[in-house]
Structure 1
Amino acid sequence: MSAVFNFTFVPWFRSVAPYIHKFRNQTFVIGLTGEAIAAGKLQSIAQDLALIQAMGVKIVLVHGFRPQVNEQLAAKGHEARYSHGIRITDSVALDCAQEAAGQLRYEIEAAFSQGLPNTPMAGATVRVISGNFLTARPVGIMDGVDFQHSGVVRKVDVGGIQRTLDMGALVLLSPFGFSPTGEAFNLAMEEVATSVAIALRADKLIFLTEVPGIRMQPGEPKGDDNPIDTELPLAAAQKLMATLPTAQQPTDTGFYLQHCIKACQAGVERSHILPFAVDGSLLLEVYVHDGIGTMVIDEKLEELREATIDDVGGILQLIEPFEKDGTLVKRDRTEIERDIQTYTIIEHDGVIFGCAALYPYPEARTAEMAAVTVSPQSQGTGDGEKLLKRIEQRARAAGLESIFVLTTRTMHWFIKRGFVPTEPDWLPEARKRKYNWDRKSQVLVKKLV
């Protein structure tokens, strides 16, 4: 059992490490719905947030309280009223909101204060600090509806929040703001989280919600059985939003999407919609390549480009497992540094997920495509085809007539893409001298003209 655990844990932990490095000192704003707390998910979410903070991420947590306020209203025989997707906050609803906020803040602070041995919180010290960081103004009257004590964010105390984060504390915000005259306004959690993320220039805005994400739209290619669109470029999100009716309920497709779009338009590069029903959804979204919910981005995170000297470490980390199992020939750091200009890489969110090198033999009008590697995490997503296409483009630009590969394990992949098996004697003289007859690699050639 121990050996099996080690076999699975070590590669997994190594695959997570690049994200740990990348997100250290970044700022995440988390919008936690009151429904998640009502569903009993607070303890596990607090544990995951404590773990993320322990890895160097600065966290602002904004909690909602929609079901809690409605419960208080029902207990007082008062009806919850909404218009335009916004709560109408009369004096009774304001009292209920203040009571619910106080109770929830107490529960959240308690959740972050756990420290029992043999739990994820053992040894954790999470200092939770709340404050009057938000200035608000009234919604006012819209289409003849007086929203009374409902408000919108007017100003965020960026300096105060930033100083608190820099002290190592987690900032907890309730959906309340205050006017300069001291009047309290009930705010929407989604609007608070979005406004704070924009003001802080946060690296991520994450909503933990009742919905699993944005479902694939008709006509979109589905790479697997996941019906959720895990990566939605801003332009596509805007196009989708334009086709949707006005969002009134949290389960409406556009309810959280509109805030993700607003954040991305204002400079928050990544906004996420995650299901709180999935245990560990925060960790799965942040530290796993494809995530679990929907990420709205203001540009495609995947980049296909030629490698630079700064990519040597990432290339070594990518190819090492394939060298160990004999799929690739061993290459040391010095060799890769020397030949770095021959490499093309696929980078996703700062992590290298694929590479290939092009070694030209101009005298024979051909070139070797070598060190072809795609991370197991992104195999089947078309990254191999993208690398092959770029290598072919580079070879044609150099005036070459063909490319060839030497492989012992993946000949069928290349044959399906137009390569033809041939004998080692076909190789250019300079490459033939380096051919390892003991390895017995299959030689495959693809004509480019």
Structure 2
Amino acid sequence: MSLVFPHTFVPWFRSVAPYIHAYRGETFVVGMPGELVAAGKLNAFVQDLSILHAMGIKIVLVHGFRPQVAEQLAAKGHASHYSHGLRITDEVTLDCAQEAAGQLRFEIEAAFSQGLPNTPMANATVRVVSGNFLTARPVGIVDGVDFKHSGIVRKVDAAAIQRAIDSGAIVLLSPFGFSPTGEAFNLTMEEVATSAAIALQADKLLFMTEVAGVHEKWDDPTSPIDTELALADAERMLAALPRPTQPTDVAFYLQHCVKACQAGVERSHILPLAVDGALLQEVYTHDGIGTMVVDEKLESLREATPDDVGGIVALIEPFERDGTLVKRDRNEIERDIEAYTVIEHDGVIFGCAALYPYVEARTAEMAALTVSSAVQGQGDGDRILKRIEQRAKAQGLTSIFVLTTRTMHWFIKRGFQPVDPEWLPEERKRKYNRDRRSQVLVKKLV
């Protein structure tokens, strides 16, 4: 018996479609800590990555191996040593790191090769490419501490990685780099992922982490997660936080997100690995999960351009089908595109309205006010209405009016008053459809 219910699946799948279009061909760098593998979540996570890959997203996967190296060291009776939040890599630790990395790469490649029926990997052919894409240099001696074989990324071979992901492969990077003399250095997953994202000018850098994200009050874990953090706010927060020493510290991943955004990566994400499907939720839902750092506010209220015609058509079409809106021809929208105001989030249009002035009557019609069902109740309609009012005032108009059959109460709550259709300007009155029996509501602009 199928567990897929059309009344929930179909609207959900339609709501996902804008993101599928928006992200096709974009480059995501994903940082996966060794803790995710240790928690037994590798197969499910690889399946989610495979779905992103199937949707046309170019993926660079960077794996970590902190718990795996710790396990190897413990088996050999050798203690782990850290300073300044970095592992000190002596000869024994370097051997353990190389062994852990080899085992993890084997497990990851095996996970991408699975193709069991009735799983997301069925019928998937995912090629994984790895290699010596990283050049490194030693950390050296810091405050008297010799970090030995611990290193820092010197250069990322972005051109070679780009060729690989352009060919349809997923690139897998281990946290190892090599000097021009062939010396190996142990790197951190976080630095490798950040450096790769910057070198590729990736569209997203996503870290799977042991934390739920950044809390609105960073020192209060009971406060809500801040789902969107502007770069300037993240910088201020980072300046106030103590230096991180472990992955669960607030600043540990935040510092890398800030660095990436400062260097041109538009969006960096901190996602909870404990939540099944967190990666899919972040990429394919409006509000996501975890915390996203952005170098500008993703929500943009602006006047429409010809490039927005397709997005407006897709937005209003469901409301035309159910009779909420009068059907508009695409050519009509294209012709009148300068009349439209849109609100977009992450490149996807979620709301619109058009302003048609009647200058002699000093009024204007606000038409096609629409907010996607995915974000209704979040104030987008009010923001669009305010912008339309501002546009009308700028043209010297004293009122705006709407014609509606179903949303009369919404407008009345916002200062509109019902009037007789005879109130309409003569030009608009001639086009009034009396069979539709639309209510006419007017709001005076002060």
- TM category (shorter chain) comes to over 0.9
Letter in 2 for 1:208: M
SS at match of 2:71: helix
Aligned to 2:395: 398
Amino acid at match of 1:392: E
Query: Aligned equivalents of 2:412 and 2:239: distance in 1?
Result: 44
Determine if the alignment matches structure 1 residue 248 to structure 2 residue 237.
Answer: no
> Any idea what SS the aligned residue of 1:376 has?
coil
Tell me how far 1:271 sits from its aligned partner: 0.8
Contact 2:29–2:61 (CA under 8 A) maintained in structure 1: yes
1:239 equivalent in structure 2? 236
Q: Mark the CA change 1:397 to 1:218 in structure 2 (over 3 Å): closer, same or farther.
A: farther
Partner deviation per Cα, 1:225-245 (whole Å, 9 max, x = no partner): 992211111111111111111
Structure 2: gaps (5+ residues): none
Q: Paired residue for 1:8?
A: 8
Deviations 1:271-328 (A, max 9, x none): 1111111111111111212111211111122221111222221111101111122211
Query: Per the alignment, in what secondary structure is the counterpart of residue 288 of structure 2?
Result: coil
2:264 alignment partner, one of 262, 267, 271? 267
* SS state at 1:372 partner: strand
Q: Does 1:286 align with 2:283?
A: yes
Count of residue pairs brought into register by the alignment:
445
- Residue 348 of structure 2 corresponds to residue 351 of structure 1: yes
Q: Which residue in 2 is equivalent to 1:198?
A: 198
Unaligned 5+ runs, structure 1: 220-224
In the other structure, the counterpart of 1:303 is 300
Structure 1 residue 424 displacement after superposition: 2.2
Q: 2:352 touches 2:370 (CA, 8 Å); kept in 1?
A: yes
Q: For residues 99 and 245 of structure 1, what CA distance do their matches in structure 2 show?
A: 33
Residue in structure 2 matching 1:227, options 224, 228, 240: 224
Does the 8 A contact of 2:243 with 2:251 survive in 1? yes
Q: Secondary structure at the match of 1:316?
A: helix
Q: TM-score, normalised by structure 2?
A: 0.96
8 Å contact 2:217–2:223 — kept in the other structure?
no
Task: Give 2:158's aligned residue.
Answer: 158
Q: Confirm or deny that 1:140 pairs with 2:137.
A: no
Local SS of the residue matching 1:112: helix
Change (3 A) 1:248 1:9: same
Question: Who is 2:42 aligned against?
Answer: 42
TM-score (norm 1): 0.95
2:323 alignment counterpart: 326
Amino acid at match of 1:182: G
How far 1:3 sits from its partner (Å)? 11
Alignment of 1:48-127 (within 5 A): 48-127=48-127
Q: Which moved more, 1:31-40 or 1:3-12?
A: 3-12
Q: Distance in 2 between matches of 1:297 and 1:388?
A: 26
Q: How far 1:406 moved relative to its partner?
A: 1.6
2:369 equivalent in structure 1:
372
Contact 2:218 2:250 survives alignment (8 Å): no
The structural deviation recorded for 1:60 is 0.9
Return the alpha-carbon distance in structure 1 between the equivalents of residues 98 and 206 of structure 2. 24
Q: Counterpart of 2:175?
A: 175
Distance in 1 of aligned mates of 2:166 and 2:335: 41
SS in 1 for 2:5: helix
1:71 shift after superposition = 1.2
Q: After superposition, what is the alpha-carbon deviation per residue over 1:80-125, rounded to whole angstroms, capped at 9, x for unaligned? A: 2211111111122111111111111111011001011111111111
Please give the secondary structure, in 1, of the residue aligned with 2:374.
helix
Once residues 159 and 319 of structure 1 are traced to their aligned partners in structure 2, the CA distance between those partners, rounded to angstroms, is 42
Query: Contact conserved, 2:309 with 2:333, CA < 8 A, in 1?
Result: yes
Which amino acid is the alignment partner of residue 295 of structure 2?
Answer: D
1:208 alignment partner in structure 2: 208
Q: Secondary structure at 2:341's aligned position in 1?
A: strand
Structure 2 CA distance, aligned partners of 1:336 and 1:372?
13
State the shift of 1:433 in Å.
2.6
C-alpha separation in 1, matches of 2:311 and 2:126: 33
How much has 1:17 moved relative to structure 2? 2.1
Q: Deviations over 1:329-357 (max 9, x none)?
A: 11121221222221111122221110001
Q: Tell me how far 1:176 sits from its aligned partner.
A: 0.7
The structure 2 residue matched to 1:388, chosen from 375, 385, 395, is 385
Post-superposition offset of 1:218: 8.0
Deviations 1:339-392, CA, capped at 9 Å, x for gaps: 222111112222111000111111211111110001112222221111111111
Distance change >3 Å, CA 3–CA 316, structure 1 → 2: farther
**1:363 aligned onto 2:354:** no
Conservation of the 8 A alpha-carbon contact between 2:203 and 2:267? yes
How far off is 1:2 after superposition?
A: 7.3
Matching residue's letter, 2:57: V
Cα distance in 1 between the residues matched to 2:71 and 2:419: 74
Name whichever of 189-198 and 11-20 sits farther off.
Answer: 11-20
Q: 1:310 to 1:69 in 2, by over 3 A?
A: same
Greater CA drift, 132-141 or 323-332: 323-332
Which deviations, in whole Å up to 9, do the C-alpha atoms of 1:164-205 show, x marking residues without a partner?
A: 222221111111111112111110100000011111111111
Deviates more, 1:304-313 or 1:371-380: 304-313
Q: Say what the alpha-carbon RMSD is for the aligned residues.
A: 1.9
